[in-house]
């Protein structure tokens, strides 16, 4: 019996109980990122799954989405655009405030980052409740881009984040919990 990509990658994800607060089981992807063969599998796996969506740009969500998104953009021969927390980007920005289960937050993108209406693939390391990725999709639309899909290294399926994402664009996740 051959081992699946999901199983290979899960073997390198470290479970950290009670982080960042009691009752939370944190899925730490940094051991997977440290392993060069596994990291290559992650980047190639996402590139293979997302290539058919024909993105023109990769948008990565701060902060671990920068790591995954930049590697994926390089592998696919695409440009990369960061979506950041407030006050981190120079020049004029577009911003979007959004609600979370424990408060509110804000995401920003440079005003000219999505000029010309590019087809955008939103990338992050992990999909949990979907609030941040959904807000990023709203911000991409507000800034003139067209969201054509989402990519994640891991997805916590019990939290229903996929259902919170706007539209019917495809969601690609390599590891499912």
39-78: pLDDT as tens digits = 999 999 999 999 999 999 999 999 999 999 999 999 999 9
Q: How far is CA 90 from CA 32, 99, 105, 135, in A?
A: 32, 24, 19, 21
Question: Dihedral of CA 20/83/144/91: which sign?
Answer: positive
State yes or no: pLDDT of 147 exceeds 80: yes
Tens of pLDDT, residues 112-143: 999 999 999 999 999 999 999 999 999 999 99
Q: Is 54 a catalytic residue?
A: no
Per-residue confidence at 103, pLDDT binned at 50, 70, 90?
confident
Q: Peptide bond preceding 60: is omega within 30 degrees of 0, i.e. cis?
A: no
CATH architecture of 52-176: 3-Layer(aba) Sandwich (3.40)
Q: Is 101 a catalytic residue?
A: yes
Residue 83 φ/ψ region, left for φ over 0, alpha for ψ in the -120 to 50 degree band, beta for the rest = beta
Per the DSSP assignment, residues forming a β-bridge with 127 are 155
* Distance in angstroms (rounded) separating the CA atoms of residues 78 and 121: 10
Catalytic: which of 49, 56, 62, 64?
64
């Amino acid at each position: 019996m051959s081992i699946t990509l999901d199983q290979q990658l899960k073997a390198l994800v470290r479970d950290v109980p009670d982080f960042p607060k009691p009752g939370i089981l944190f899925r730490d992807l940094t051991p997977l990122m440290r392993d060069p063969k596994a990291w290559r599998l992650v980047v190639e796996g996402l590139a293979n799954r997302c290539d058919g969506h024909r993105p023109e740009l990769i948008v990565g969500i701060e902060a671990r989405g920068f790591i995954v998104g930049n590697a994926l953009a390089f592998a696919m021969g695409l440009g990369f655009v960061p979506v950041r927390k407030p006050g981190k980007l120079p020049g004029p920005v577009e911003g979007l405030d959004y609600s979370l289960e424990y408060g509110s937050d804000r995401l920003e993108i440079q005003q000219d980052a999505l000029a010309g209406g590019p087809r955008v693939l939103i990338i992050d390391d992990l999909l949990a409740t979907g609030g941040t990725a959904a807000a990023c999709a709203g911000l991409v639309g507000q800034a003139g881009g067209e969201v054509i899909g989402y990519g994640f290294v891991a997805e916590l399926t019990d939290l229903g984040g996929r259902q919170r994402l706007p539209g019917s664009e495809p969601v690609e996740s390599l590891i499912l919990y």
